[in-house]
């Protein structure tokens, strides 16, 4: 295996993600990654942050190959991370691989992708900055 080959990290079994649902994956650094499963057992991974106001997409309703953000109902395409319809903006996507029923994410992307994305703040934390 040469150095440029991606290293895949096992995250969970396919069944650990509910059909038409999602799970959150925490990273040592950076915001969580949301992994989604649709009805056709396809798995998608996006930064858990809506391009609109940073809502956690993992908490949204999944339909077709889209998720509706739980905060303001923007519809985000799971394949490209981009807002659909009249809205615009994209959230970073992560490569997914399924091997023997296990869901794997790219180690390099987990370590390096979208580390500077800011989580939205609320309450006293919001006021102090």
Partner 1 sequence: MRTLKDIPMNKPKLVMIGNGMAGVRTLEELFKLAPDMYDVTVFGAEPHPNYNRILLSPVLAGEQTLQDIVLNDWSWYEEHQITLHAGWTVTAVDRQRRIVHARNAQGDTCQTPYDRLLMATGSNPFILPIAGNTLEGVLAYRDIADTQAMIDAALTYQHAVVIGGGLLGLEAANGLMLRGMQVTVVHVLPNLMERQLDAIAGKMLQKSLEDRGLKFLMGAQTQALVGHQNEGQSGRVKAVQFKDGREIPADLVVMAVGIRPNTSLAQDMHLHCDRGIVVDDTMQTVTDARIYSVGECAAHRGVAYGLVAPLFEQAKVAANHLAQFGIGRYTGSLTSTKLKVTGIDLFSAGNFLGSASGRAEDANCEEIVMSDPSAGVYKKLVVQNDRLVGACLYGDTVDGSWYFKLLRDGRSVADIRDQLMFGESNIGDAGHEGHNKAAAMADSDEVCGCNGVTKGFICKAIKDKGLFTLDEVRKHTKASASCGSCTGLVEQILMFTAGGDYSATPKTKAMCGCTEHGHQAVRDAIVLHQLLTIPDVFKFMAWGTPNGCASCRPAINYYLISSWPKVAKDDPQSRFINERSHANIQKDGTYSVIPRMWGGETTADELRRIANAVDKYKIPTVKVTGGQRIDLLGVKKEDLQAVWKDIGMPSGHAYAKALRTVKTCVGSEWCRMGTQDSTQMGKDLERAMWRMYAPHKVKFAVSGCPRNCAESGIKDVGIIGVDSGWEMHIAGNGGIKTEVAHFFTKLKTAQEVLEYTGAFMQLYREEGWYLERTVHYVKRVGLDHVKRRILDDAEGRQALWERLQFSLDGEPDPWFEMNKAAVDTRQFDKLTIS
Q: Which residues pair with 67 in a beta bridge?
A: 62, 76
User: Does 101 engage in binding with partner 1 (CB under 8 A)?
Assistant: no
Taking the least distance from each CB to partner 1, the nearer of 9 and 90 is: 9
Say if CB 34 and CB 50 are below 8 A apart: no
User: Does 7 engage in binding with partner 1 (CB under 8 A)?
Assistant: no
Q: Please report how close the Cβ of residue 102 comes to partner 1 at its closest, in angstroms.
A: 10
User: Does 70 engage in binding with partner 1 (CB under 8 A)?
Assistant: yes
Say if CB 81 and CB 89 are below 8 A apart: no
User: Does 10 engage in binding with partner 1 (CB under 8 A)?
Assistant: yes
Measured distance CA(33)–CA(18) in Å, rounded: 16
Residue 82 CA neighbour count, 13 Å, CB half: 5
30's torsion region: left (phi>0), alpha (psi -120 to 50) or beta? Answer: left
User: Does 121 engage in binding with partner 1 (CB under 8 A)?
Assistant: yes
Give the interface with partner 1 as residue ranges (CB under 8 A): 9-12, 16, 18-21, 23-28, 32, 35, 38-39, 48, 53-56, 59-64, 68, 70-73, 75, 85-86, 105, 107, 110, 119-126
């Amino acid at each position: 295996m040469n150095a440029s080959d991606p290293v895949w990290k096992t995250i969970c079994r396919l069944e650990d993600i509910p059909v038409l649902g999602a799970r959150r994956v925490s990273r040592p650094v950076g915001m969580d990654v949301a992994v989604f499963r649709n009805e056709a057992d396809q798995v998608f991974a996006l930064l858990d942050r809506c391009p609109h106001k940073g809502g956690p997409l993992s908490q949204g309703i999944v339909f077709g190959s889209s998720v509706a953000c739980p905060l303001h109902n923007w519809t985000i395409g799971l394949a490209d991370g981009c807002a659909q319809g009249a809205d615009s903006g994209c959230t970073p996507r992560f490569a997914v691989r399924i091997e023997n029923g296990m869901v794997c994410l790219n180690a390099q992307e987990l370590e390096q992708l979208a580390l500077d994305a800011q989580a939205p703040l609320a309450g006293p934390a919001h006021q102090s900055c």
